[in-house]
Homo-oligomer: A and B are copies of this chain.
Amino acid sequence: MKKFAVVLAGSGVFDGAEIHEATFTLYSIMKYGGTYQCFAPDIPQYHVINHISGEEMDESRNVLIESARIARGNIKDLKEFIADDYDAIIFPGGFGAAKNLSTVAFDGPEASVNPEVERAVKEMLEKGKPIGALCIAPAFIAKIIGDVTVTIGQDKETIEAIEKMGALHEETNHGEVIIDEDKLVFTTPCYMLDATILDIAEGADNIVKEMIERL
């Protein structure tokens, strides 16, 4: 049984992990015979967004505690992640990836990345283990690795930022996966395109399938 670490960024597209992307990632891992353990950093969310109005709420929430909603309580602090214990790591998207796990949403090519996220990615990279990222999450993978080929779909501004980070970008459509065979980095656009929940299920399925085939 291949073990995936799934790193969440909260719970909700506008300030956390995108719920459909995260759910279908967990589902596809089990569907292809793998197991998963969810992780998230134990840090405050950048902010809390009212998902109806889009406005900021006068609240503070914790990324690990909110991510536990998607994981049904079975989640660990990303500090406890040990690369030797997992065969692959994957990051669902949502603005949390660009606001909590990194500052891509605010700083573009000059973004900083949460140190535990950076450590986890670098350790898996050094061990030659597959790294997956959906939606906007490939942007911080580009920031960490630099010389890597990724996709976030077709959004011009994000593509420009990724290229300024030193990475190569390949445009994609619904469900397509870009694989950097050298770095073993797998990326797919999901809700970075104008997608339906069917497209998200397909994208998550395709990326997990490609990753698990190489394990």
Question: Which one, B19, B75, B191, contacts A70 given CB within 8 A?
Answer: B19
Residues of B close to A196: CB separation below 8 A: 30
Cross-chain contact A52 with B64 (CB below 8 angstroms):
yes
A19-68 at interface with B (beta carbon < 8 Å):
19-20, 23-24, 26-27, 30-31, 50-52, 54, 59, 64-65, 68
- List residues of chain B with CB within 8 A of the CB of A24: 23, 27
The verdict on A14 contacting B73 (CB below 8 Å), with A20-B23, A27-B198 known, is yes
Question: Which residues A160-211 have CB closer than 8 A to chain B?
Answer: 191, 196-198, 201
A132 at interface (Cβ–Cβ under 8 A)?
A: no
A18 surroundings in chain B (CB, below 8 A) = 72
Residues on B with beta carbons closer than 8 Å to the beta carbon of A19: 11, 19, 23, 69-70, 72
Number of identical protomers:
2
A113 contacts B by Cβ under 8 Å: no
Chain B positions within 8 Å of A31 at CB level: 198
Q: Is the interface of A mostly helix, strand, loop or mixed?
A: helix
- Enumerate 30 A-B pairs (CB-CB under 8 Å) in ascending A order: A11-B12, A11-B69, A12-B69, A13-B69, A13-B72, A13-B73, A14-B73, A16-B69, A18-B72, A19-B19, A19-B23, A19-B70, A20-B26, A20-B27, A20-B72, A23-B23, A23-B24, A23-B197, A24-B27, A27-B201, A30-B197, A30-B198, A31-B198, A50-B65, A51-B65, A51-B71, A52-B68, A52-B75, A54-B73, A59-B59
Residues of A that sit less than 8 Å from B by CB: 11-14, 16, 18-20, 23-24, 26-27, 30-31, 50-52, 54, 59, 64-65, 68-73, 75, 191, 196-198, 201
